[in-house]
């Protein structure tokens, strides 16, 4: 597959940082982040997209309302029915209780800084699920859905990677258009469980002295990795799981057709 050079490197997003840290196939990165081709959402991601739509009315990046999958009999999956109930509960009861006022949804903002080693301009781009005021303070709210709040890390959020939160707070802090007050915004996760428990968590991530270092380090690292991949022509480094949702899954000659053998010790 011929991979042309990039005229200008794509902006660095939190999702790109996450993909690169997970050692995702460079060809998949090229399709999704350079060409902007859509990837196939996992079942879990599909539920998350559906929940965000039901809670906020946002269609996300695609601009198209998500299509709820149905069983072969035409009946609804119970997961989606539970997410409907969660969306109604959070919107009608939790939002007023926590003082949450939605200002806008699916907000795209970008900011930039100078690469500390090369003096190149690194652009950071963020897509906010919800721009809000919480008790009259400017805030970003990120919507999550999970099959198990209790065991998914959300019960002990200190151990989670907060790069996303820091990216979004810093980008909104820099935005004169959306943040005329020039204050550091707050950041919240609202996490809903589609299991029979119908559990939830509301988590606030605080900005700290090391947050900007984390943003700059993560963005610079991703920028450098993209530069290296471009120089190598975005070579394929496929795995069965990644190939299932890759934009090139039907055309890539290096696609893994079968699962890898799992090795245990």
Pairing of strands 186-193, 200-205: antiparallel
Residue 1: per-residue pLDDT = 42
Mean pLDDT, residues 66-87: 93
- Report the number of distinct structural domains present in the chain: 1
Is 21 within the bounds of a domain? no
pLDDT band for 5, please (50, 70, 90 cuts): very low
pLDDT in tens, 33-70: 999 888 888 888 899 999 999 999 988 777 788 889 99
Residue 93 domain-assigned (yes or no): yes
Asked if residue 17 belongs to a domain, the reply is no
Whether 195 is in a domain gets the answer yes
Q: What is the pLDDT of residue 197?
A: 87
3-state secondary structure of 225: helix
Q: Decide if pLDDT at 76 tops 70.
A: yes
Query: Once rounded to an integer, what is the mean pLDDT over residues 137-147?
Result: 95
How high is the mean pLDDT of the chain?
90
Here the CATH number for the domain that contains residue 68 is: 3.90.320.10
Domain hosting 94: range is: 42-232
In a domain, residue 264? The reply is no
In angstroms, how far is the first alpha carbon of the chain from the final one?
37
Q: Which of 47, 66, 39 is nearest to 192 (CA)?
A: 47
pLDDT digits (tens, 9 = 90+) for 186-222: 999 999 999 998 899 999 999 998 999 999 999 999 9
pLDDT of residue 159: 64
Report CA torsion sign: 39, 43, 49, 53. positive
- Average pLDDT of the residues in 4-18: 74
Sheet bearing 137-146, strands edge to edge = 100-114, 121-134, 137-146, 186-193, 200-205
Rounded to whole angstroms, how far apart are CA atoms 121 and 227?
13
Q: For residues 244 and 241, what is the distance between their CA atoms, to the nearest angstrom?
A: 6
| C-alpha–C-alpha distance, residues 207 and 187, integer Å | 9
Average pLDDT value for residue range 1-6: 44
What integer is the mean pLDDT of 88-112? 95
- What is residue 6's predicted lDDT score, i.e. its pLDDT? 47
pLDDT at 130 over 90: yes
Q: Is 85's pLDDT higher than 90? A: yes
For residue 181, the model assigns a pLDDT of 87
Domain assignment present for residue 241? The answer is no
Of the pLDDT bands very low, low, confident and very high (cuts 50, 70, 90), residue 8 is low
């Amino acid at each position: 597959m011929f991979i042309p050079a990039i005229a200008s490197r794509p902006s660095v997003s939190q999702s790109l940082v996450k993909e690169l840290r997970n050692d995702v196939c460079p060809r998949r990165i090229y399709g999704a982040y350079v060409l902007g081709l859509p990837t196939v959402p996992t079942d879990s991601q599909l539920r998350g997209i559906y929940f965000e739509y039901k809670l906020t009315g946002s269609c996300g990046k695609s601009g198209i309302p998500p299509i709820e999958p149905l069983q072969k009999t035409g009946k609804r999956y119970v997961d989606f029915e539970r997410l409907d109930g969660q969306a109604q509960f959070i919107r009608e009861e939790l939002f007023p209780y926590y003082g949450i006022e939605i200002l806008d949804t699916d907000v795209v903002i970008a900011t930039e800084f100078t690469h500390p080693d090369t003096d190149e301009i690194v652009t950071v781009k963020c897509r906010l699920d919800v721009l809000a005021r919480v008790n009259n303070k400017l805030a970003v709210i990120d919507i999550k859905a999970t099959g198990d709040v209790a065991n998914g890390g959300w019960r002990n959020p200190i151990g989670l990677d907060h790069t996303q939160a820091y990216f979004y707070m810093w980008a909104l802090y820099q935005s004169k258009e959306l943040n005329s007050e020039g204050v550091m915004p707050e950041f919240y996760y609202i996490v809903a469980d589609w299991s029979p428990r119908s559990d939830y968590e509301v988590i606030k991530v605080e900005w700290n002295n090391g947050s900007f270092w984390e943003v700059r380090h993560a963005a610079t690292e991703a920028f450098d990795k993209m530069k290296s991949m471009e120089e190598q022509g975005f070579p394929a480094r496929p795995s069965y799981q990644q190939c299932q949702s890759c934009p090139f899954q039907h055309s890539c000659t290096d696609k893994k057709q079968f699962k890898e053998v799992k090795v245990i010790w």
